[in-house]
Each structure stands twice: as structure tokens, then as C-alpha cells.
Structure 1
Amino acid sequence: MPSKSGLCVPKSKKQVQSFLGLASYYRRFVPHYSQIAAPLTDLTKKKQPNAVQWTKKCQKAFNKLKATLMSDPVLRAPDFDKPFLLTTDASERGVGAVLMQKGPDQEFHPVVFLSKKLSERESNWSVTEKERYAIVYALEKLRPYVWGRRFHLPTDHAALKWLHTIKETNKKLLRWSLALQDFDFDIRHISGASNKVADALSRESFPELTG
């Protein structure tokens, strides 16, 4: 069942892990994070069933962490005088992205969270097609933020490092590559462990959240 913010209450251990993957990335901004998240992390323990037993304590922790993700000091309003960093990711069933900026504390804060469930047809695309679509989708949604501004695009999909240079034979990829030429960004490879937020967003449906 969706909550008031649009986030669905996790029904499986895997969904709880996805939500915690997103929330824990920003734990440094959340005082007493471990205590708040404890009812949820308990659900992910090895001996717990895959179908979670959702309690009032779980709901309270879930609501608290959602509220934290959608407010200061985690989510920040954009500063158009500073550079943006965009991370994207794709899973078998969805794409996700997060637009970030460094705050006065020199930490990266999210400005916008994006998530989209793939259609049945899109789910059958190759890994490279999904990963590139995640970028195209994010830039279509984030055009007001990044249009005309140089930004950084780290990705955990190594093939995308050559996005600007490879000669496309796939018409869909060629069309997307041409669309991406409208934007000014540099792309570099990062490890999957460094891309936890976009990864979590690609695996579960979250609403668009903006600072």
C-alpha cells in the first residue's frame, strides 16, 4: 500500500533491503540512524522470512526515515551556481537516478530523486540499452536543472564510458546518443558499491522527490 509520500510499504525482505540501501547512504546526516532503522534491519536478518511481518514499530521507523530523506539536512534545494553530479542505474525492472550537489559541509546532498518502472517491452532490452535509457530518462526529467550547464555523470556500467565515441549500429542507441549530445557532461566509471542510491531507486518504485 502506498504511503502518503507515494512510497510503498515493503512486503518482502528484498524490498526492505532496497529501501535501507537508499536510506543508509545518507545515515551520516541522520542522528541515531541505527536506532531508528533497527525494526527494519531486523527484518533483513538471515532467519527472518522473505515475506516480512510488518509491525507498528516497522511503520514508525519507515515513516521517520522517509521524512528524513525528503527534508533538510538530506534533501537540498539546488544552487545553480554550483556544479551538479548525476548518478543513474538500471535493474531488470526499473531505472533510477539521483541529482546531487556539494553542500556547505562539503558532502554530496540529493537535489532530486527519480525512479521509473520499466514496461514489459523495456524489461527485455539489453543491459546496455537499459543503462543508457536510465541516463536518457533522467536527463529528460532533469533538463531544467542541467540544460546549458556542465555536470558530472559517474556510472557503474563500464560500457557507457564510450558513450560519446562508439559508432552505433543499433538505431535506438544511436537516437539516444544524438539526444545526449544536447548536454554537456563528462562520464567516468565507478564501482557498483559507490552507486547505491541510484541502484536502490532502480529496484523499487519511489516518487519523484525534489529539494
Structure 2
Amino acid sequence: MTLGQNKLDKILNLAVLAKKKDVRSLLGLLNYYRHFIPNFAALTYPFSDLLVKGSPEKVQWSTRCDDSLREIQRLLSSSPILVIPYMRKHFIVRSDASDRGIGAVLLQEKGGILMPCRYAGRKLNRKEVRYSAVEREALALVFGVTKFQRFLTFKHFTLQSDHKPLSYLKSGAPKNVRLMRWALALQEFSFDIVHIPGSDNVHADALSRLC
């Protein structure tokens, strides 16, 4: 099974990475899928070489890096990396925000492992980059729900974030008008908000940082 490029959003649109922090974000995402990617170490070593201690923060993207990225993108767009959403099973949405982008992933359990069904991510605009950390995280959460709305409407699902204060969007009083507006927008959906460790949120984190 292969999904169209528009379903893979940022992952299939990644091209040249310019900085070490971008390469680290990419490797963090790929490491989660290492058991599903044949020859993982061989495919990712060009990226690891860019992170050698003492090398400049601005990386020299090579043809080897480009070839590896293209092969990994092909693998990430194929089963079992992406699974077909099954409407009778429970959905999980994980979201994350960086200082320049937001990302979300739609997940379902398959064989005891949470597997991605859809990816989404975008850059923050000039107004949004000035939001507080909690506002950016809330924006990412609402973005994920909106992006995957056709799978979530009329179903109970779980929202997962590594930003614990977001729990008040459902159970408490948001701190300002912007957060209140987003909390009201979510009221039409049935969900639980669950805090997860940042180490478990590699999908959405990488998407937000690679925007």
C-alpha cells in the first residue's frame, strides 16, 4: 500500500537540510521506525556523518544524503510504515510545536504497536511565531484535529501531547481569549487529553521542527 504524496505532507517534501539540529530531528523520527526500515544503519550513516563532533552547525548536504533521504521517503510511504486507517478502531492524535512549525500524526494500534496513518505539518506564520509556548502547543493540537477531522468526527479519540498544561483545554479554564477560542472549537469533538513524555513524541516533534 502506498499513499499519495499529499497524504505524507512534510516527510515526502523534505529536501536539503541546512543545520545540525534539522538532521538530529530527522534521525529522531527515523529511529522510531528502525525495526521497519531494512538496512537502517546503512541508509542513515550519511546523516550521522553530518553530526561529527567539531563539524560546523551548517551542514554540507551531499549526494549520498540526498539518495538516502529519497530511499527512506519511499520506505516511509509504504506499508508497514503507514497503515490504512480502520474506522472501527481507536484513533490517537499526537501533536507538537517548535519555535517555527507545528506537526501532528494520526496513529492506530497494529499488532501491539502504534503505527502512523497520516502525517501533517506546517510552518508558523509571522504572527504565530510570537505566541507563547503553550499557545503554540495548543495551536498544534487544534491543527491536528482539524487536519484529521474526517477520521475523528462522531468518534471518541485520544489527544496526546508532551505539553502537560494543555489538559485544561478540556477540563479547566484557558488563560486567555485565544486559548478559550480553541477550547470552544474542540467542544464538538469527543476526546481525552493525555500527557506523554517528549521521548515518545518523535513523530510530531520532527514534523514541527522540519517545517
When normalised by structure 1's length, the TM-score is 0.90
Residue equivalent to 1:82:
89
Residue among 103, 106, 121 paired with 2:127: 121
Amino acid corresponding to residue 64 of structure 2 in structure 1: K
Residue equivalent to 1:16:
23
The alpha carbon displacement at 1:139 in A equals 1.1
Amino acid corresponding to residue 122 of structure 2 in structure 1: K
Residue equivalent to 1:42:
49
Question: Structure 1 pair 139/77, CA: closer, same or farther in 2 (3 Å)?
Answer: same
Residue among 106, 109, 112 paired with 1:102: 109
Amino acid corresponding to residue 201 of structure 2 in structure 1: N
The alpha carbon displacement at 1:55 in A equals 2.0
The alpha carbon displacement at 1:124 in A equals 0.5
Residue equivalent to 1:130:
136
The alpha carbon displacement at 1:73 in A equals 1.3
The alpha carbon displacement at 1:4 in A equals 11
Residue among 153, 156, 168 paired with 1:150: 156
The answer (yes or no) to whether the contact 1:22–1:200 under 8 Å persists in 2 is: yes
Residue equivalent to 2:6:
none
| 1:45-81 deviation per Cα after TM superposition (whole angstroms, max 9, x unaligned) | 2232222222222111111111111111101111111
**Residues matched between the structures, number:** 202
Amino acid corresponding to residue 201 of structure 1 in structure 2: L
Residue equivalent to 1:28:
35
Amino acid corresponding to residue 87 of structure 2 in structure 1: F
- SS of residue paired to 1:75: coil
| 1:143-170 deviation per Cα after TM superposition (whole angstroms, max 9, x unaligned) | 1011111111121101012221222351
The answer (yes or no) to whether the contact 1:90–1:202 under 8 Å persists in 2 is: yes
Q: Distance in 2 between matches of 1:113 and 1:4?
A: 8
The 5 A counterparts of 1:51-66 are: 51-66=58-73
Q: CA RMSD in A?
A: 1.7
The alpha carbon displacement at 1:29 in A equals 0.9
Q: Does 1:67 align with 2:74?
A: yes
The answer (yes or no) to whether the contact 2:93–2:145 under 8 Å persists in 1 is: no
Q: Distance in 1 between matches of 2:124 and 2:132?
A: 13
- Unpaired runs of 5+ in structure 2? 1-9
Residue equivalent to 2:3:
none
Which stretches of structure 1, 4 residues or more, deviate above 3 A after TM superposition? none
- Unpaired runs of 5+ in structure 1? 206-211
The answer (yes or no) to whether the contact 2:134–2:165 under 8 Å persists in 1 is: yes
Residue among 98, 112, 119 paired with 1:91: 98
The 5 A counterparts of 1:172-191 are: 172-191=178-197
The answer (yes or no) to whether the contact 2:15–2:66 under 8 Å persists in 1 is: no
Q: Distance in 2 between matches of 1:5 and 1:21?
A: 16
- Shifted more, 90-99 versus 59-68: the winner is 59-68
Percent identical across equivalent pairs?
39
